[in-house]
C-alpha cells in the first residue's frame, strides 16, 4: 500500500510540474498581454491572473513557514534557558546535596 501511495504522489507531482511549466510558457510569451488586451473574457488573461495568484500564494506560504520556523527556534531557546535556570536554583542544589 505504501508503494502505491508513493507512486500516486510521484505521478501527481509530475502532473503538477508539467501544468506549471505550461502556465509559465503561456505567461512568459505574453508578458504584456494584460496591458494590451481589451477583450472582456480573454482566456489568456484569466490564465495569467491565476498563475500570478498561485505565485503570490506560494510566496505567502513560504514566508509564513519561515516566520513559524523562526518562532519555533526562539521558543525552543527560551525553554532551554528556563530549564537551566531551574537546575541552577538554590533549592535544587540543596535537594541534590541531600540525596
* Digit-coded pLDDT (tens) for 12-69: 888 877 877 777 776 777 667 777 888 888 887 887 788 778 777 878 888 998 999 8
Task: State if pTM tops 0.75.
Answer: no
**34 occurs within a structural domain:** yes
In a domain, residue 55? The reply is yes
Sign of the C-alpha dihedral, residues 27, 30, 35, 39? Answer: negative
Residue 77 within a domain: no
- Which residues, at least 6 apart from 20, have a Cβ–Cβ distance to it below 8 Å? 54
Q: Higher pLDDT residue, 9 or 28?
A: 9
Q: Is 85 domain-assigned?
A: no
Q: What is the mean pLDDT of residues 73-80?
A: 76
Asked if residues 50 and 43 have their Cβ atoms less than 8 Å apart, the reply is no
Task: Kindly state whether residue 24 falls inside one of the protein's structural domains.
Answer: yes
Whether residue 90 lies inside any domain: the answer is no
Q: What is the pLDDT of residue 67?
A: 94
Indicate the number of domains in the chain.
1
Give me the pLDDT at residue 84, please.
Answer: 58
User: Quick check: is 81 in a domain?
Assistant: no
Give me 4's grid cell. Answer: 502505491
Q: Which residue range(s) make up the domain with 10?
A: 2-71
Amino acid at each position: 500500500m505504501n508503494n502505491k501511495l508513493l507512486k500516486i504522489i510521484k505521478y501527481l507531482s509530475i502532473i503538477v510540474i508539467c501544468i506549471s511549466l505550461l502556465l509559465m510558457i503561456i505567461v512568459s510569451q505574453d508578458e504584456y498581454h494584460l496591458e494590451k488586451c481589451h477583450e472582456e473574457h480573454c482566456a489568456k488573461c484569466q490564465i495569467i491572473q491565476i498563475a500570478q495568484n498561485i505565485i503570490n500564494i506560494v510566496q505567502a506560504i513560504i514566508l509564513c513557514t519561515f516566520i513559524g520556523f523562526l518562532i519555533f527556534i526562539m521558543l525552543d531557546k527560551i525553554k532551554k534557558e528556563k530549564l537551566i535556570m531551574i537546575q541552577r536554583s538554590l533549592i535544587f542544589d540543596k535537594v541534590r546535596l541531600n540525596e
